Chain A
Amino acid sequence: MESAVLNVTVTPKMETKSPDTIANNVILKAEDFCASFGSNQVLKKVNMAITRNHVVAVLGPSGCGKTTFVRCINRMHELAPDATVEGKMIYNGDDVYKMNPVVLRSHIGMVFQRPNPFPSMSTYENVIAGYIFNEIKLTKAQKDEVVETSLKSASLWDEVKDILHKKGTSLSGGQQQRLCIARALAMKPKMLLLDEPTAALDPISTLKIEELLVTLKETYTIVIVTHNIQQAGRVSDKAAFFYLGELIEYDDTKNMFTNPKEERTQNYITGRFG
């Protein structure tokens, strides 16, 4: 069953893998990466490598470019008018900006700040929305399978299994956000980008999502943008601190929190600005 579902997902061509990517188990690498909106440069020469099955927290004050950075990973940045990029973003050995965005986004799922289930769809349809949109035909059994496994991975199954055919928007905010995670997981991505996924949620829902992230990293590589430093401490293996469009520090979260190399990082972590 599992393989049947996997067969329908799009597999990209990956002929050229540099040996170093495989050896270091690096899934994503930014090399001198810059991004701008018109003449306003919001990311300046970012160099960063993300290891498979890690949770990477992206930290920094408002307007530091952290959201732009994750949106560049799955090429959502280019949807904005006059958005441009420079430098390289390498996913699994392929240049992201030479890949087909549809294929890329099927490998890299995204969850947004505000829960955004499709209001015209039921919970069930929301989970398989990616398949519906991409006109990938699934049998009823395959759909059921995708819905159940995705909702279970997002630890939402038990709460919604009896109301699968009600509108997704009838769920609570926290449930909606886990539904959005399930929707992203249903496409069987390798990476998951989360842009302040708990900013609009109450503490209990936040806790559930944090617990979920820890279990998800066994299967996925996760990049999470957060304003919440404690949250970064709880869930992430590595942390990246952005300030005014530059990557100031990128290190193991424990190291960064106990012994930051840069003063600006220390000031931010200790709450002196942000």
Chain B
Amino acid sequence: MINNVERAVRTRHIKNSVFKWGVIAFTFIAVLPLIFILYYLVQKGVTSITWAFLTHMPKPVGETGGGILNAIVGSAIIIFMACIIAIPFSIAIGVYLSEFPKAGIANWARLSIDMLQGVPSIVIGIVIYEWVVKPMGGFSAISGSIALAIMMIPPIAKATEETLKRVPAGLKEASFSLGASYYQTTMRALLPAAMSGILSGVILSIARISGETAPLLFTSFGNPYLSANITKPMSSIPLLIFNYAISPYDEWQKLAWGASLVLIIFIFLLNIITKIAERKWKVQY
């Protein structure tokens, strides 16, 4: 009898450690490629990143040096406009979905959001090309922003819905019992309590779209010059990486590596900001 128990304990112990090491091994394997990519990027790109790289325009073929100022400015403008378009929409959708989860239109909205999340970004680019670029008569930064805004809606709306659902019903009741209206309750009691989740949704969606290339190919197109005119083509970091990486010139390929590293650093910073924002706005109920 005792022997049986001992044997069972021993097998259990072996199973435990196999499982534990298995989990660790798989995690490690998953992390490896990321480390290699980062290492490779840093190795290739770090030599190009200087102050001049960030503050100068690209040089013509054959000249050494030059920077990616037009792409940085372009990305900033395009992403900023995408946020202005997407954030109010997405938060409104999230509020609606959490407030009226069973309404007929909510089911359709939820389905559309899930579908939209799975639509390849290049498809969104083509659709915006048909709907915005063609009627406007040419490529423009604003059409790129619209394409990116459409990609931002699902994650922000989801994040808003999920965080609002976790806000206890008691807060809403407390607000109503103080005589607040529905609008005041949403704006002043519910959304502030959900701010941490909404903000992290917003920042992560920015991180996601800032590397998008495909939708921009058909919309903002790219521009070798510095431009702030949103109705004209505009450069952006992913487009610059795409154009320069496939070019036959070593100098341009080097710029592409540098730009890739800049993009990765930007996304890394956004992730850190997300963590800080989550902590700052964190609420306990």
Chain A interface (Cβ < 8 Å from any Cβ of B):
10, 74, 76, 79, 101-103, 105-106, 109-110, 112, 114, 116-121, 129-130, 132-135, 167, 169, 180, 183-184, 187
Contacts and interface: CB of A to CB of B under 8 A. Distances in A.
Interface in B268-285: 281, 283-285
B192 A116 contact: no
A103 B180 CA distance: 10
B193 A120 contact: yes
Contacts of A169: 283-285
B176 A134 contact: no
A10 B178 CA distance: 12
A133 B192 contact: no
Contacts of A135: 184
Contacts of B281: 120
A105 B176 CA distance: 8
Given A102-B181, A120-B192, A169-B283, A112 B170 contact: yes
A135 B176 CA distance: 14
A138 B181 CA distance: 19
A187 B284 CA distance: 25
Secondary structure of the A contact surface, majority rule: mixed
B185 interface: yes
Interface string B173-193: 111111111001100110011
Contacts of A79: 173, 176
Contacts of A101: 179
B42 interface: no
Tell me what chain B mostly uses at the interface: helix, strand, loop, or mixed: helix
Nearest to B282: A119
Contacts, number: 84
Nearest to A187: B178
Residue among B171, B179, B281 with the highest chain A CB neighbour number at 10 A? B179
Nearest to B183: A133
B209 interface: no
B89 to A, nearest CB: 23
A105 B178 contact: yes
A184 B179 CA distance: 10
7 contacts: A110-B173, A116-B168, A116-B174, A118-B174, A130-B178, A134-B179, A183-B178
Nearest to B102: A81
Given A119-B284, A135-B184, 4 more contacts: A112-B173, A133-B180, A133-B188, A183-B174
B195 interface: yes
A134 B188 CA distance: 10
Contact of A133 (B168, B178, B193, B285): B178
Contacts of A74: 177
A134 B184 CA distance: 7
Contacts of B178: 105, 109, 129-130, 133-134, 183-184, 187
B283 A109 contact: no
**Which residue, of A101, A110, A119, A169, has the highest number of chain B Cβ atoms within 10 A?**
A119
B176 to A, nearest CB: 6
Contacts of A76: 173, 176-177
Given A74-B177, A76-B176, A133-B178, A119 B184 contact: no
B189 A118 contact: yes
A112 B174 contact: yes
B183 to A, nearest CB: 10
Contacts of B177: 74, 76, 105, 109-110, 112, 184
B283 to A, nearest CB: 3
